[in-house]
Structure 1
């Protein structure tokens, strides 16, 4: 069963470019992961501090392995200094 994930991030105004750089690095590496079916990053049109990930993973195990990658751990470590608040994460399945 595929896992659908949406993540909404809101950068601090002064951290938008630093956050975007880290997120772009995550995209480049994540799309190479075998379990990744989709990993799209979007940035708000009216509010450029907002970033949204739309992800599809082949399995929970694949998503769990993704979360153990060094580039994800780096983001998690730096996120408190870059984000206005914790990321909103929504997991879903097709109905």
Structure 2
């Protein structure tokens, strides 16, 4: 069963470019993961501090493995200094 994930991140105003650079690197690395079916990053049109990930994973195990990657762990560690508030994460399944 595929896992659908939407993550909404709100950057601190003075950290937008730094965050975008890190997120772009995550996209490049994540798209090479075996379990990744889709990993798209969007930035708000009217509010450029907002970033949204739309992800599809082949399995929960694949998503769990993704979350153990060094580049994801490094982002999680740095997130408090980059984000205005904790990321909102929504997991879903196709109905």
TM-score class, shorter: over 0.9
Q: Which residue in the other structure is 1:45 paired with?
A: 45
Q: Distance in 2 between matches of 1:49 and 1:62?
A: 29
Deviation at 1:48, TM superposition (A): 0.3
d(CA) in 2 for partners of 1:78, 1:2: 29
Equivalent residue number for residue 10 of structure 1 = 10
Question: Offset at 1:51?
Answer: 0.1
Instruction: Return the alpha-carbon distance in structure 2 between the equivalents of residues 44 and 71 of structure 1.
Output: 23
Deviation above 2 Å: which 4+ runs of structure 1? none
Deviations 1:41-76 (A, max 9, x none): 000000000000000000000000000000000100
The residue that corresponds to 1:79 in the other structure is: 79
Deviation at 1:35, TM superposition (A): 0.1
- Is residue 50 of structure 2 the alignment partner of residue 31 of structure 1? no
d(CA) in 2 for partners of 1:17 and 1:73? Answer: 20
Tell me the TM-score normalised to structure 2 length. Answer: 1.00
Quote the offset at 1:13 in angstroms: 0.1
5+ residue gaps, structure 2: none
Q: Give the paired residue count.
A: 95
